[in-house]
Amino acid sequence: MAPKTITIFGATGAQGSSVINSLLKNASNDFTLRGITRNANSDKSNALRARGVEMVQADGLVKDDMVSALKGSWGVFVNTNSDDPAIGQPGGPSETDLGKIIADAAAEVGVQHFVYSGMQSASKITNGAVPNQAFDEKNAIGEYAKAKGFKSTVIVSPGWYMENHLVEELAPIFGGFPFQADEDGYYTLRAPRWGGNDEINFIAIGDDFGDLVHGVFLDPEKYNGQLVQAMSESATAEQLVQAFAAATGKKSRFVPIDDWKSFETYGERSLETVKYMFGFCQHSGGLYYGVPNDLTVPRELKSAAVQAQGGGEVNLMTLGTFFKKHFAG
């Protein structure tokens, strides 16, 4: 049987790269990979090409580009970037417009399995009390794709990136954690509480996200119509700073911001999304997914991917291991 082509939209981004890295380790050679990017001659594109990924240059807002790029694909993984300056501008195309163009093109060329990095709708979860444009639009794209007649449409919904705490430029927004100590000598995380039992759905994008998507592609119809909780660990902010302290020996603490509406966004669209994420999570009792966090499916998918890669230990990343990997020593 000829290998099945999986096309990754956003191939050079964090999520797309993780998906490609995982699928390239598949031991059966069941899949060939194609990456879609706006710049097929970038260093990242050339690096993927050198590893055997077919790289195609295309604009997601141009349907003819998408039709050409997706032809012959058995499956697609799509991540739309809510912060892309090409979308979301007054009078211009929205993220929903972008997602619909990609889904329409995929359906037109006969793609069988559509995997989308989507979200629950904050507006639906909170009955309109706390909307979140990025979450609401991603939800609309996923619902639109479900109606296009693919053999399977699966929403893989990433939680809070562990990797957010590797970006030194973000640290001041969150009280300096985990790069800058405060005046008391603590590495202090300042953020609104999550709500409910305060357990955040953390995902290690580099270590786990790609494996979860890989697991879906191994049996996509099993997960048809589902929203997969893409997370590595469910833990509180207090447990996050405790894991950092244990890994590094540095004094750490969590100091909650009492009112989520006072979270400073500096006019940045991405931080507005974060601000309203805290708001809708608090309003819903911590239900980022509309239901309690559950690691059952992530563990199942991780196991399937590891087995397809030739076997080995099946462990989702923990906060403790993550901080040891990146900060200890």
SS3 readout for the chain: CCCEEEEEECCCCHHHHHHHHHHHCCCCCCEEEEEEECCCCCHHHHHHHHCCCEEEECCCCCHHHHHHHHCCCCEEEECCCCCCCCCCCCCCCCHHHHHHHHHHHHHHCCCCEEEECCCCCHHHHCCCCCCCHHHHHHHHHHHHHHCCCCCEEEEEEECEEHHHHHCHHHHHHHCCCCCCCCCCCCEEEEEECCCCCCCEEEECHHHHHHHHHHHHHHCHHHHCCCEEEECCEEECHHHHHHHHHHHHCCCEEEEEECCHHHCCCCCCHHHHHHHHHHHHHHHHCCCCCCCCCCCHHHHHHHHHHHHHCCCCCCCCCCHHHHHHHHHCC
- Round to whole Å and give the CA distance between 295 and 314: 13
Along the 329 residues of the chain, how does pLDDT read in single tens digits? 789 999 999 999 999 999 999 999 999 989 999 999 999 999 999 999 999 999 999 999 999 999 999 999 999 999 999 999 999 999 999 999 999 999 999 999 999 999 999 999 999 999 999 999 999 999 999 999 999 999 999 999 999 999 999 999 999 999 999 999 999 999 999 999 999 999 999 999 999 999 999 999 999 999 999 999 999 999 999 999 999 999 999 999 999 999 999 999 999 999 999 999 999 999 999 999 999 999 999 999 999 999 999 998 899 999 999 999 999 86
Q: Domain extents for the chain?
A: 4-327
CATH of 4-327, one of 3.30.2400.10, 3.40.1190.20, 3.40.50.720, 3.40.50.2300: 3.40.50.720
pTM higher than 0.95: yes
The structure tokens listed for 236 are 């509180």
Neighbour-count burial of 86, counting CB atoms closer than 10 A to its CB (0-12 exposed, 13-18 middle, 19+ buried): middle
- Round to whole Å and give the CA distance between 171 and 36: 31
